[in-house]
Structure 1
């Protein structure tokens, strides 16, 4: 089973490796053109800073009279388009990843501003929870306390697919009927679902760490650093949004 993150799946990484293997044996391959862990970390930091900068602009504009719905919705759509393109053309990641971070920042900034207006202080809590979760998962992975086995991957991927299917079906029913999904509101069932989704999102981080590490070991092309960083950013954004949802439900209690 692969990482559920579409950017960190085995097919894409295998394709990247095969392209490199196609180089004639007489060709000298520059090791500086290979994927490295330090390079991936640096790319991740760049994307994070771009996302924060973009989100900060929308945050400031919202509290100065801008309606955040439009930039948030537009950012989400464009970000999704860039994700799809990169999934099929990972070699363009050095150009698409920064664009994704900027547009996703519009989405994050708009959504965060909306939640902050309704629940003052919730954004700080969600950001803190996201970073703590990331740090804990990274520590557990680094020191091999949690090992990414094939069974582990299977369970996480299956659970993530189930969540995606449930969200999609619930959204369609709520759009065309008077059906109210059980994860809406602040019932114990709704809170429990949010906790479960956060756990699965956090477990996806382990899969992402594993694929990045494997990519470095397999000496994939340099552009895969941007690709891996972009995939990791997708998981972190998902985790942050789910923390916002959970905290908003708890604030209603």
Structure 2
């Protein structure tokens, strides 16, 4: 099944436009099916197609995805520590953590929409997004003791639950599932931008004062982010099954990291709203 996720669909590799290799899956079968009267043009295409380098020949594995995801998270955690200490020790204000978030947003779009895999951009995103996550976490921690640990445990629990549901077939990806989820994600993103704009101009926001509506909207965000993990799991599985080049494990790991950070922030906000209503 062809990937419908924009992060992966932008890459030609996810559309199986591969390189000429001696060990490419199905190469022996194609040779057996090669017609004896192949045209000169066809033969020319076979022999002029660029050969893969050793790095391009090696195929993506689950270990590759885990290593890339872990390295990105390591950089994100360093950035988060800097953001947390900047708020708690240096008195860094809210605006100081918003700027890195805006820059990270631009870098994230660049990394996701680029046809070329860009690990450097992904690491820069992880560092700046980490500063934002650490700063926001520090603000919430100043109001509610232990909230960071609760949010981390909630994120890990949601990740484990969705992975179990995916592996057991309780939740599976499909073209319709992807379409509905992407539409819901875009709608939620537009709503969040409108809510932010309303807050900046003094009209208030849906989370102000807590209440049932704030809890409902925040819970929807948690569910939506959790369901996006299904897309990440499916695309990683597709990439491994289709024998994509190892470089694509960067794209897979980056997508998973972005979703997990989003999920953490949604859970952090939901816990803050629930504890604020106590």
Same fold (TM over 0.5): yes
TM-score by length of 2: 0.80
SS in 2 for 1:146: coil
Which of the numbers 68, 74, 78 marks the counterpart of 1:49?
Answer: 74
Match of 1:114 in 2: 139
Q: Does 1:151 align with 2:151?
A: no
- Distance in 2 (alpha carbons) for counterparts of 1:25 and 1:54: 48
- Distance in 1 (alpha carbons) for counterparts of 2:196 and 2:96: 21
Match of 1:2 in 2: 4
Q: Which moved more, 1:58-67 or 1:16-25?
A: 16-25
Structure 2 counterparts to residues 211-230 of structure 1, below 5 A: 211-230=235-254
Structure 2 counterparts to residues 1-253 of structure 1, below 5 A: 2-3=4-5, 6-8=6-8, 11-14=9-12, 16-17=14-15, 19-21=17-19, 25-26=46-47, 27=51, 30=54, 33-176=58-201, 178-253=202-277
Deviations 1:10-32 (A, max 9, x none): x2244554552588745356475
Distance 1:66 1:175, change over 3 A: closer
- Highest RCO, 1 vs 2 (Cα 8 Å, sep ≥ 6): 1
- Distance in 2 (alpha carbons) for counterparts of 1:159 and 1:28: 39
How many matched pairs? 248
SS in 2 for 1:20: coil
Contact 1:91 1:224 in 2 (8 A): no
Deviation at 1:185, TM superposition (A): 2.8
Long gaps (5+) in structure 1: none
Long gaps (5+) in structure 2: 22-44
Contact 1:7 1:230 in 2 (8 A): no
Match of 2:38 in 1: none
Distance 1:28 1:95, change over 3 A: closer
- Distance in 2 (alpha carbons) for counterparts of 1:145 and 1:104: 32
- Root-mean-square deviation (CA, aligned residues, Å) is 2.4
TM-score by length of 1: 0.87
- Distance in 2 (alpha carbons) for counterparts of 1:118 and 1:28: 55
Deviation at 1:202, TM superposition (A): 0.2
Q: Please say which structure displays the higher CA radius of gyration.
A: 2
Q: Which moved more, 1:178-187 or 1:118-127?
A: 178-187
Contact 1:93 1:224 in 2 (8 A): no
Match of 2:36 in 1: none
Greater helix share, structure number: 1
- Distance in 2 (alpha carbons) for counterparts of 1:112 and 1:120: 11
